[in-house]
Structure 1
Amino acid sequence: MDNVPDSATNPDTTSDRVLDGLARLCLIVAGVLLVFLIFSFGWLVFGRYVLNDTPTWIEQSSLLIVVYITCLGAGAGVRFNSHLSIDFLREGAPRIPRAIMHAISDGFVLLFGGFMAWQGWLMMISNAGRPIPMIGLSESWRAAPLVACGVLLVIFTGANLIQRITRTGRAGS
């Protein structure tokens, strides 16, 4: 069961629930895609060694699916603070330097997420007319996860930053 704070102590519980739900949806979609990936590789092995007829679409679809799984998982990882980080220096620092380090890291993630969404969007637009070999989808589908991940990074990092600022403001008063 989640440790959701009482609405009396945290007015952001509705937005927390929405953002947590969005992050969980990302993980569910990534999980379903992972299951599909496993089954498609099973079909690849069966087709290659039993039927002696290798399905050619699996390689390209697998490359596409791995990008979706990675980008959706990265966005959810930022929301749930389960991404890889080395924070022993930051967490061992006094309150003010720790807050500054949090703000700097959040700023970098916000900038990176915005840049990723923007450049991914440009890639989507420029590759809309090119098909992915073997599966026929537009190459834009390869760049779409970059846009989604960038937007998720901005939303989740922005929410975490706002919560940290309001929490610090309430603790200081």
Structure 2
Amino acid sequence: MLRIERALDILSLLCMIAASICLVVLVATFGWLVFGRYVLNATPTWVEQLALLLICYITYLGAAVGIHENTHLGVTLFRDMMGQRISVFLKLVIDIVLAGFGLLMMLASIELVMFGWDTLLPMLNIPESFRSLSAALCGGLVFVFAGLRAVFRFICLIMGRPYIEKGIV
């Protein structure tokens, strides 16, 4: 279990690095946009399309990392008000629901990837599918992160040990 958790931590780190690189490229391209518009008097028109594409990857990769690190938006008031046994059960159910959502998101997004492969993004001349690919990646990552956490919770529940939460202080 520890090896798998370590591999998931590395995968999460790689996602965060990729999202960070996308953010740096986004800032740099907007710097070029401002320079081109106000200094060269020639606005680079491709920046907007690239920005939309990069925002998809930044958002979706960040969301998947949030699921892994347990820092995603969650309303825990009712779950925490319950007793220990009910709370453990609810956390398991939440992880299963998240994994199911991730799987559905991945499958629906794969259809979008296949559908948009023949359409090109304006100004960038790359397939529209690259935009949908970010959602498919996020869905797959959410499925893996939440699904394996559900499996680990279940194993710990069977063995009578507490599951150590990520991101919980």
- Aligned counterparts of 1:161 and 1:119: Cα–Cα separation in 2: 22
- Aligned counterparts of 1:127 and 1:17: Cα–Cα separation in 2: 35
1:166 and 2:155 are equivalent in the alignment: yes
Give the corresponding residue for 1:76.
65
The unaligned stretches of length 5 or more in structure 2 are: 162-169
- Aligned counterparts of 1:161 and 1:114: Cα–Cα separation in 2: 14
1:140 and 2:168 are equivalent in the alignment: no
TM value normalised by structure 1:
0.89
- Aligned counterparts of 1:35 and 1:110: Cα–Cα separation in 2: 30
Structure 1 residue 159, shift from structure 2 partner: 1.2
- Aligned counterparts of 2:4 and 2:100: Cα–Cα separation in 1: 22
Over the aligned positions, Cα root-mean-square deviation in angstroms equals 1.2
Looking at both structures, which has the greater relative contact order when contacts are Cα pairs under 8 Å and sequence separation is at least 6?
A: 2
1:30 and 2:13 are equivalent in the alignment: no
Structure 1 residue 23, shift from structure 2 partner: 0.5
- Aligned counterparts of 2:4 and 2:93: Cα–Cα separation in 1: 24
TM value normalised by structure 2:
0.91
Structure 1 residue 22, shift from structure 2 partner: 0.2
Give the corresponding residue for 2:146.
157
Structure 1 residue 107, shift from structure 2 partner: 2.5
2:118–2:127 contact (8 Å) kept in structure 1: yes
**Corresponding residue pairs, total:** 161
1:87 and 2:82 are equivalent in the alignment: no
Structure 1 residue 170, shift from structure 2 partner: 2.3
2:92–2:153 contact (8 Å) kept in structure 1: no
Q: What is the SS of the residue equivalent to 1:72?
A: helix
Structure 1 residue 169, shift from structure 2 partner: 2.1
Deviations 1:17-40 (A, max 9, x none): 100000000000000110110111
Identity of aligned residues (%): 35
The unaligned stretches of length 5 or more in structure 1 are: 1-11
Structure 1 residue 99, shift from structure 2 partner: 2.4
Q: What is the SS of the residue equivalent to 2:122?
A: coil
